[in-house]
Chains A and B, each alone.
Chain A
Amino acid sequence: MDDEPLILAFCCHYCAYAAADLAGSMRLQYPGNVRVLRLPCTGKLEVNYLLAAFERGIDGVIVAGCLEGGCHFLEGNLRARRRVERARQLLSEIGLEPERLEMFNLSSAEGTRFAEIVTIMVQRIKRLGKSPLRPDPIHVEQGVQEIGRQAEAML
């Protein structure tokens, strides 16, 4: 696991989280490098959540929200996209590859797409290499749990 990238996926409850569930029900195979955090909507996402993930040594971050026009809260996913863009600019400023962060849109029926997104990101992060901010793997996993707890506490 030491050499495997660790990816955090912020998933909207109404689409990507359900799609991840469906991918499991469909017995689809995708890399086990992803840790899923459920949000009520990607509009809940703040720039500091994304930076907190990288600060704790996560190698890549997926933000997965509803298809554009299909947000349960009308425009949460559109706001999330702008925040992701801002976080990417910040990553660029500090000298970390912005490609480590990407937003995807999918519906709850797209289990196959979810598996595909995880595969795409894992391949991309393997190409970029491990995050230079990465401590040992145990601490990264602890970081994921910490972000999860913080996100839960904010709900």
Chain B
Amino acid sequence: MIVADRKKVPEIRDMVKNHQRVLLVGCGTCVTVCLAGGEREVGILGSALRMSLRLQGRGDITVDECTIERQCEDAFIDVLAQRVAEYDAICSLGCGAGVQALAERFPKLPVYPGLNTQFMGILESQGVWTEKCAGCGNCRLGEFAGICPITRCAKHMLNGPCGGSQQGKCEVNADLPCAWQLIFERAGALGILERFDEIVPPHDWSTGLDGGPRKVVREDQCIAGLGPQA
């Protein structure tokens, strides 16, 4: 899932303080699961933001709340279409994709981010999320015993470990497990260590973000006659 965390209240307050009616929009998908932007968090932020504005002498600003099922899909934004007419700004508690989807859908309304989108990751333990995927567009997890060195090695090394791996930890941060230690341990347990006798060729980054925003097209799913532009 996409993992995010909330911006500090003063930062959000400063973004919206020049508007009169602000709608906080939560998202019921990834950011609900990572406890950053679901219905409950929208309620908490709404309350905190109203109090913060009142303490700054801007109690006249209306801050309302709503949460939609998914911000990153236009069909789910439909339910907002009528309601946003009453507001002069939106603060989205969705990920960066959600914020931009709302901005595209409502071209005349300023849309502000209430969250800092962090990464694609997993729930490691209750209340702890860790990054697992960099979305490089060319997955090679099969070569590395199911552990991604691009995401989880601080140097993104494909032929590790480096000299900074000490007692299973990364030199960058003593709390960070060395990805290559994990790779070798798991490969050893799977009996595939000989795979690392060969030097792994450089990664093909042409599928990465450096070529600009990427697009996935499934022709068979596109509306007939309209193609990927629809």
Does A114 interact with chain B (Cβ within 8 Å)?
A: no
A133–B47 contact, CB under 8 A? no
What separation, in Å, do the CA atoms of A96 and B10 have in the docked complex?
12
Contact of B51 among A46, A47, A48, A96 (CB under 8 A): A96
Does B50 interact with chain A (Cβ within 8 Å)?
A: yes
Interface range, B side: 10 to 19
Minimum Cβ distance to chain A for residue B12 (Å): 10
| Centre residue among A48, A52, A96 by max chain B CB count within 10 A | A48
Q: Which residues of A contact B (CB under 8 A)?
A: 46-48, 51-52, 54-55, 90, 93-96, 132-133
Minimum Cβ distance to chain B for residue A75 (Å): 12
**Contacts A90-B9, A93-B8 known; A51 to B48 CB distance under 8 Å?**
yes
Does B96 interact with chain A (Cβ within 8 Å)?
A: no
Minimum Cβ distance to chain B for residue A151 (Å): 14
Does B217 interact with chain A (Cβ within 8 Å)?
A: no
B9–A132 contact, CB under 8 A? no
A46–B54 contact, CB under 8 A? no
What separation, in Å, do the CA atoms of A95 and B58 have in the docked complex?
14
Does B40 interact with chain A (Cβ within 8 Å)?
A: yes
A94–B48 contact, CB under 8 A? yes
A96–B40 contact, CB under 8 A? no
Contact of A52 among B8, B40, B47, B54 (CB under 8 A): B47
A93–B9 contact, CB under 8 A? yes
**Contacts A93-B9, A93-B10, A94-B9 known; A51 to B44 CB distance under 8 Å?**
yes
B9–A55 contact, CB under 8 A? no
Q: Name the A residues within 8 Å of B55 (CB-CB).
A: 94-96, 132-133
Interface string of B16-50 (1 = CB under 8 A from A): 00000000000000000000000010011001101
Pairs A–B under 8 Å by Cβ, sample size 6: A46-B40, A51-B48, A55-B51, A90-B44, A93-B48, A133-B55
